[in-house]
Amino acid sequence: MKKFDKDRVLLGLAAPVLSVLGALIVTGLVLLASGKEPFHAFHVMLTYGSKSDSQVYILNKATPYYLSGLAVAIGFRMNLFNIGVDGQYRLAAFFAAAVGGSMSIPGVIQIPIIILTAMVVGAAWAAIAGVLKVTRGVSEVISTIMLNSIAGIVIGFFLQDGRLGVTDKLANTITTKPIPPGSHLFNFTTQTDPVVGFIVFAGLAGVVYWFVLSRTRFGFDLRSVGRSDSAAQASGVSVKKMVVVSMLISGAMAGLVGMSTLLNQSYQFSTDFPAGIGFTGIAVALLGRNNPIGIAIGALLWAFLERASNGLEFEGYDKEIVGVIQGAIVLAVVIAYELVRRYGLARQQRQVGAELAAAGSDDKQEVTA
């Protein structure tokens, strides 16, 4: 039995290792094909990505990626494909910024209000897709991706002079009113740039995610619906309720994605607020296999790759090569997990077969005896 566990750990590690390696090989081939030397490129990425200011950058960048990955993973666990994290977090950050900019009360009260606003807005936006799914059978893939687009339009509508926006004539940007300095979240000072304080909240969110999904009745219900909704229904779980509730939680988690940028860096929502993190989250959740620690590793890897792309560009490589690496990793992850799963299955069958054969030969012996 002990040996069996060790094998399982090996099998579990095999897939991510295989996929990263596969991605590196693919990237190496692409670099070779474009007439560049691949090993030097990987070397540049490692040295540049491990410098102290790079480490800070990676942590800061991984924070929203991690939250985004968690938000997507909640849906994945339910067999729900929440592509709408992107729209949910942008809308959430926008309204949170608007609320934060319109108040000036002590930060101890205001920061929680801002964060709560973001969670509520994110949850509400995701709930639209959830309700549509249970009442009208609309696929959440379709509705969330359309809601992304609608979120952008809603923001564009409100982010105008005279509504919730303030035009900065010289900088060509429109922003919400800045959040007063009293409500800026703490940062961790380092030798170089500060590390965002929101990283603490992201870590907490990971713990909550783990606890709720694997240590509570609710989490069990959620996972059982994900495995087989008919079986869950039979055991007394209301599948419809679970769909809406998990979309709400996923949306609330998505609401947190923009908070590190808002409370630690920009203090306002402007036209150049980072977009697309929701889609990064899908890749990160896939990479982390919905496991809170796996997602953290995925988020850090993603941030590292993006940081390393700057180093590559400085050395005369095309920074787009990092996009190739990221794409190859996602593809390789899917393939590698399938390979390892099949291998595990075959191994299990073989073991059972061997046991049966052993039992069978015993019988034969008895007969012949």
Partner 1 sequence: MRRVSKIAAAGVVSAALALTATACGSSTTSDSGSTGGSGSASSSSSGGGGKTKGVGMAYDVGGRGDHSFNDSAARGLDKADGELKLDSKELTAANGETESDRVQRLDSLAAAGYNPVVAVGYTYGTAVTTVAKKYPNTTFGLVDSVVDAPNVDSMVFATEQSSYLAGVAAALKTKTGKVGFIGGVQNTLIGTFDAGFAQGVKDTKPSVQLTREYLYKTDPRGFNDATSAAAKAQGMLDKGVDVIYTAAGLSGDGSIQKVAGKSGAWAIGVDSDQFQDPALAKYKNSILTSAIKNVDVAVYDLINSVKKDNKPKVGTNSYDLANNGVSLATSGNFLSDVQAQIDAAKQKIVSGQIKVSSTP
Residues ≥6 apart with Cβ < 8 Å to 31? 37, 38, 41, 317, 321
* Contact of 96 with 118, CB cutoff 8 Å: yes
Q: Which of 37, 272, 355, 362 binds partner 1 (CB under 8 A)?
A: 272
Interaction of residue 304 with partner 1, rule CB under 8 A: no
Tell which positions 131-160 bind partner 1, by CB under 8 A: 152-153, 155-157, 159
Q: Which of 223, 240, 289, 319 binds partner 1 (CB under 8 A)?
A: 319
Nearest approach, Cβ of 106 to partner 1 (angstroms)? 26
Q: Specify the residue, 14 or 116, whose C-beta has the smaller distance to partner 1.
A: 14
What's the first-to-final CA gap in the chain, in angstroms? 32
Q: Which of 261, 290, 291, 326 binds partner 1 (CB under 8 A)?
A: 261
Interaction of residue 352 with partner 1, rule CB under 8 A: no
Q: Give me the 185-204 binding string for partner 1, x by CB under 8 A, dash otherwise.
A: --------x-----------
Interaction of residue 182 with partner 1, rule CB under 8 A: no
Counting beta carbons within 10 angstroms of the beta carbon of residue 346, is it exposed (0 to 12), middle (13 to 18) or buried (19 or more)? exposed
Q: Specify the residue, 138 or 166, whose C-beta has the smaller distance to partner 1.
A: 166
Counting beta carbons within 10 angstroms of the beta carbon of residue 304, is it exposed (0 to 12), middle (13 to 18) or buried (19 or more)? buried
Q: Which of 26, 131, 271, 334 binds partner 1 (CB under 8 A)?
A: 271
C-alpha separations of 170 from 98, 102, 161, 167, 174 in Å? 22, 23, 15, 9, 10
Q: Which of 12, 124, 150, 167 binds partner 1 (CB under 8 A)?
A: 167
How many CA within 13 A on the CB side of residue 125? 36
Interaction of residue 340 with partner 1, rule CB under 8 A: yes
Tell which positions 85-124 bind partner 1, by CB under 8 A: none
Q: Which of 131, 150, 313, 327 binds partner 1 (CB under 8 A)?
A: 313
Residues ≥6 apart with Cβ < 8 Å to 140? 75, 80, 81, 82, 83, 84, 129, 130, 132, 133, 247
Q: Specify the residue, 233 or 271, whose C-beta has the smaller distance to partner 1.
A: 271
Number of residues engaging partner 1 in binding (CB under 8 A): 56
C-alpha separations of 29 from 32, 37, 144, 225, 323 in Å? 5, 10, 36, 42, 14
Nearest approach, Cβ of 12 to partner 1 (angstroms)? 11
> Kind and range of the H or E element at 167?
strand 166-168
* DSSP 3-state of 98: helix
Interaction of residue 275 with partner 1, rule CB under 8 A: yes
In order, the DSSP letters of 13-73 are: HHHHHHHHHHHHHHHHHHHHHTT--HHHHHHHHHHHHTSHHHHHHHHHHHHHHHHHHHHHH
Residues ≥6 apart with Cβ < 8 Å to 36? 317
Q: Which of 265, 289, 300, 334 binds partner 1 (CB under 8 A)?
A: 265
Stretch binding partner 1 (CB under 8 A), from 117-125, 128-136, 200-208, 337-345: 337-345
Interaction of residue 341 with partner 1, rule CB under 8 A: no
Q: Give me the 3-42 binding string for partner 1, x by CB under 8 A, dash otherwise.
A: -------x--xx--xx-xx--x--------------x--x
Q: Which amino acid is at 134?
A: V
Nearest approach, Cβ of 157 to partner 1 (angstroms)? 8
DSSP 8-state symbol, 263: I
Q: Specify the residue, 82 or 309, whose C-beta has the smaller distance to partner 1.
A: 309
Could you list the residues that contact partner 1 (CB under 8 A)?
10, 13-14, 17-18, 20-21, 24, 39, 42-44, 46-48, 50, 53, 57, 60, 152-153, 155-157, 159, 167, 169-174, 193, 261, 265-266, 271-272, 274-277, 309-311, 313-316, 319, 339-340, 343, 346-347, 350
